[in-house]
């Protein structure tokens, strides 16, 4: 079988696998974080989002993801299918990049193809495929590994980046930073690549200096940009470092505890790894790389370890948040599988004429095991996401079918919404009406809780019945709890006069979002997170 035929067959098999494994994507809906995310960027507007992508060091929250959200909202409003399908080209590009980079780093087309297959779907990263909230990771992966593949391809050709190529590389790096903080470690990965693939010959200080300037130039410029980025994000107004959900804990226990959590997620939540076992695993892998003097094994380890550092010290980040460092372990696993297949065929004395056939059979057997595990995990994850996304979908449908017309500059109270303790009902209402002059308040976020007598303070009062139907309370009906609808006339007595503090989005002690006084840039919500934190 010719090499060309194998490549075409491999490409066709990979494309078919990509389509089949993601066949549930059109059935997905919005997650709890999606209305939050869309509102942040819609409230800021295109001009501020574009400006934040240029001023990458500002504390504006992940502006490249904002450009994606804002563009789709301007085109499709609250149609979740458009959002999910728009991620497919990015996911496909990431699979292609994974294969291309693995091929260049390993020197093997077969390893590159296997890495692409393994990066197509991994059950422990399910949010990447089924949740829009992880678009930040998808975009960061695209530009992080796009920049790395661009650099590696030029360096393997035996030359250094020229002026326009350097500008392209730095633009890709800035896009990775604008997508998510995970892109921060790229310059250090570049430097490790140089040390492993074209190491210095330390005969003298002069020889070291001659190596350092051309080989480390790109990494040093990238580190300078990373320093500007870090200082702006750390000390800028409304820095995420002041948010308890993003504040790092710099301890050895935190580092290795997170590494163990990553590995357990990658093996489909089996509690196999502990911090101690992970330390032993990494020590063994480093030992193998040193004894074999394998630069490709060392490079895979470097990517897998360094790329986790931006999240390794932040509690609660695992699963889909490890999409970027996962490539390092995929590369290492692909190298191990390729070496294992070659070792087996040599051990059983397969004739050279039949060796290629044996390799294909063994590879298919390995992929069958991977397919079985991914299919089992896919069914589990789809069963998880559908009911969690149904609540958001139902509320959006209620606004589509029953939302009343509201005059500009009105105040609106929403009571009995199905999202206790979070702002999602307000976000959905704001996005549905798309009128920044409207002021929305949530009954479940007000202290004290509003009573029917308090409704007179608002121009409109909307509520949800126990079966989830959106209704306009005009006048407010007799209520049990917050309200109920009966056929009889209301018989309640007005509550005594009292000051009612309508707690708005700006009053949250944990999150001052954009548009509030004292808040200059969009920030993350403090509500319940969906599935895994980003």
The total of structural domains in the chain comes to 2
Residue 393 CA, chain-centre distance (Å), reads 21
Question: Which range among 116-120, 293-297, 471-475 shows the weakest confidence by mean pLDDT?
Answer: 471-475
Task: Kindly tell me if the per-residue pLDDT of 68 is higher than 90.
Answer: yes
What pLDDT is attached to residue 532? 45
Q: Are 111 and 332 in contact (CB under 8 A)?
A: no
d(CA 386, CA 31): 10
Q: In this structure, are 224 and 347 located in the same domain?
A: yes
Q: Is residue 59, in this structure, part of any structural domain at all?
A: no
Confidence of residue 534 (pLDDT cuts 50, 70, 90): low
Q: Provide, rounded to the nearest whole percent, the portion of the chain with pLDDT above 70.
A: 87
Rounded mean pLDDT of 460-468? 92
Select the highest-mean-pLDDT range: 9-18, 451-460, 468-477: 451-460
Task: Kindly tell me if the per-residue pLDDT of 160 is higher than 90.
Answer: yes
Last residue of a domain, one of 351, 385, 419: 385
Q: In this structure, are 379 and 416 located in the same domain?
A: no
Rounded mean pLDDT of 103-126? 91
Q: Is residue 274, in this structure, part of any structural domain at all?
A: yes
Question: Quick one: three-class SS letters along 119-179?
Answer: HHCCHHHHHHHHCHHHHHHHHHHHHHHHHHHHHHHHHHCCCCCCHHHHHHHHHHHHHHHHH
- Which candidate, 433, 440, 444, 437, places its Cα nearest to that of 403? 433
Q: In this structure, are 365 and 406 located in the same domain?
A: no
Task: Kindly tell me if the per-residue pLDDT of 207 is higher than 80.
Answer: no
What pLDDT is attached to residue 421? 85
Last residue of a domain, one of 385, 413, 430: 385
Q: Is residue 32, in this structure, part of any structural domain at all?
A: no
* Per-residue pLDDT reduced to its tens digit, 481-518: 333 333 333 333 333 333 444 444 444 333 334 444 33
Q: Is residue 425, in this structure, part of any structural domain at all?
A: yes
Q: In this structure, are 347 and 486 located in the same domain?
A: no
* Per-residue pLDDT reduced to its tens digit, 361-376: 888 888 888 888 888 8
Residues 6+ apart with CB under 8 A from 107: 296
Range of the structural domain that residue 219 is part of: 87-233+253-385
Confidence of residue 211 (pLDDT cuts 50, 70, 90): confident
Q: In this structure, are 190 and 273 located in the same domain?
A: yes
The single residue listed with the structure tokens 């728009």 is: 86
Per DSSP, the chain holds a count of helices (H) and strands (E) of 19, 4
Question: Which range among 45-49, 271-275, 449-453, 530-534 shows the weakest confidence by mean pLDDT?
Answer: 530-534
Q: Is residue 64, in this structure, part of any structural domain at all?
A: no
Q: In this structure, are 453 and 311 located in the same domain?
A: no
What pLDDT is attached to residue 471? 92
What pLDDT is attached to residue 315? 82
Confidence of residue 22 (pLDDT cuts 50, 70, 90): confident
Going edge to edge, which strands form the sheet with 460-464?
Answer: 439-442, 411-415, 460-464, 470-472
pTM here is 0.87
d(CA 101, CA 327): 10
Q: What is the mean pLDDT of the chain?
A: 84
Q: Is residue 153, in this structure, part of any structural domain at all?
A: yes
Task: Kindly tell me if the per-residue pLDDT of 135 is higher than 50.
Answer: yes
Q: In this structure, are 445 and 491 located in the same domain?
A: yes
Q: In this structure, are 227 and 114 located in the same domain?
A: yes
Q: What is the DSSP string of 210-277?
A: HHHHHHHHHHHHHHHHHHHHHHHHHHSTT-GGGSTTT-----HHHHHHHHHHHHHHHTTT-TT--HHH
Mapping DSSP to helix (H, G, I), strand (E, B) and coil, where does residue 420 land?
Answer: coil
Q: Provide, rounded to the nearest whole percent, the portion of the chain with pLDDT above 90.
A: 53
Q: Is residue 77, in this structure, part of any structural domain at all?
A: no
Q: Is residue 208, in this structure, part of any structural domain at all?
A: yes
Q: In this structure, are 403 and 377 located in the same domain?
A: no
Q: In this structure, are 410 and 496 located in the same domain?
A: yes
Q: In this structure, are 326 and 413 located in the same domain?
A: no
Residues 6+ apart with CB under 8 A from 158: none
Question: Which range among 38-47, 92-101, 314-323, 514-523 shows the weakest confidence by mean pLDDT?
Answer: 514-523
Last residue of a domain, one of 319, 351, 385: 385
Confidence of residue 353 (pLDDT cuts 50, 70, 90): low
Q: What is the DSSP string of 316-348?
A: T--GGGGHHHHHHHHHHHHHHHHHHHHHHHHHT
What pLDDT is attached to residue 441? 92
Q: Are 53 and 440 in contact (CB under 8 A)?
A: no
- Which candidate, 30, 133, 24, places its Cα nearest to that of 395? 30
* Per-residue pLDDT reduced to its tens digit, 307-346: 999 888 888 787 889 999 999 999 999 999 988 888 877 7
What pLDDT is attached to residue 111? 93
What pLDDT is attached to residue 494? 36
Select the highest-mean-pLDDT range: 239-243, 248-252, 527-531: 248-252
Question: Which range among 1-15, 420-434, 468-482 shows the weakest confidence by mean pLDDT?
Answer: 468-482
Q: In this structure, are 444 and 320 located in the same domain?
A: no
Helix intervals (H) in 107-134: 109-120, 126-130
d(CA 65, CA 68): 5
Q: Are 141 and 93 in contact (CB under 8 A)?
A: no
d(CA 285, CA 270): 21
Confidence of residue 166 (pLDDT cuts 50, 70, 90): very high
């Amino acid at each position: 079988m010719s090499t060309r035929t194998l490549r075409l067959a491999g490409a066709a098999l990979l494309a078919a696998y990509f389509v089949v494994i993601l066949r549930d994507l059109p059935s997905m809906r919005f997650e709890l974080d999606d209305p939050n995310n869309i509102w942040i960027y819609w409230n800021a507007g295109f001009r501020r989002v574009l400006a934040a992508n240029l001023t990458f060091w500002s504390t504006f929250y992940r502006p490249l993801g904002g450009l994606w959200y804002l563009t789709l909202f301007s085109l499709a409003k609250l149609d979740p299918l458009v959002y999910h399908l728009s991620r497919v080209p990015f996911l496909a590009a990431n699979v292609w990049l994974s294969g291309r980079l693995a091929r260049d780093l390993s020197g093997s087309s077969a390893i590159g193809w296997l890495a692409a297959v393994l990066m197509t779907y991994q059950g422990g990263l399910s949010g990447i495929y089924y949740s829009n909230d992880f678009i930040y990771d998808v975009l960061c992966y695209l530009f992080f590994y796009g920049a790395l593949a661009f650099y590696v391809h030029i360096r393997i050709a035996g030359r250094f980046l020229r002026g326009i190529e350097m500008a392209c590389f730095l633009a890709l790096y800035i896009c990775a930073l604008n997508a998510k903080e995970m892109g921060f470690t790229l310059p250090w990965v570049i430097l490790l690549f140089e040390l492993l693939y074209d190491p210095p010959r330390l005969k003298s200080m002069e020889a070291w200096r001659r190596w350092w300037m051309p080989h480390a130039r790109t990494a040093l410029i990238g580190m300078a940009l990373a320093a500007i980025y870090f200082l702006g994000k750390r000390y800028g107004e409304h820095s995420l470092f002041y948010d308890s959900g993003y504040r790092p804990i710099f301890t050895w226990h935190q580092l290795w505890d997170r590494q163990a959590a990553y590995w357990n997620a990658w093996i489909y939540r089996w509690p196999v790894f502990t911090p101690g076992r992970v330390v032993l695993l990494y020590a063994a892998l480093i030992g193998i790389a040193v004894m074999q003097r394998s630069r490709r094994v060392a490079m895979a380890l470097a990517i897998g370890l360094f790329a986790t550092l931006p999240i390794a010290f932040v509690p609660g980040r695992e699963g889909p948040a490890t999409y970027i460092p996962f490539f390092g372990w995929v590369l290492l696993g692909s190298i191990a599988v390729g070496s294992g297949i070659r070792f087996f065929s040599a051990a059983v004395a397969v004739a050279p004429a039949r060796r290629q056939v044996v390799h294909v059979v063994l590879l298919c057997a390995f992929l069958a095991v991977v397919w079985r595990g991914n299919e089992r995990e896919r069914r589990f994850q789809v069963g998880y996401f559908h009911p969690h996304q149904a609540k958001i979908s139902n509320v959006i449908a209620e606004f589509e079918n029953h939302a009343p017309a509201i005059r500009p500059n009105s105040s609106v109270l929403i009571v009995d919404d199905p999202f206790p303790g979070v702002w999602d009902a307000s976000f959905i209402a704001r996005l549905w009406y798309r009128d920044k002059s409207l002021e929305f308040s949530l009954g479940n976020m007000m202290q004290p809780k509003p009573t029917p007598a308090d409704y007179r303070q608002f121009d409109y009062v909307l509520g949800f019945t126990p079966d989830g139907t959106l209704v306009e309370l005009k006048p407010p009906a007799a209520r049990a709890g917050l309200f109920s609808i009966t056929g009889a006339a209301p018989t309640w007595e007005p509550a005594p006069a009292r000051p009612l503090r309508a707690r708005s989005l700006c009053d949250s002690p944990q999150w001052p979002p954009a548009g509030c006084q004292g808040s200059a840039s969009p920030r993350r919500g403090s509500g319940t997170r969906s599935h895994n934190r980003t």
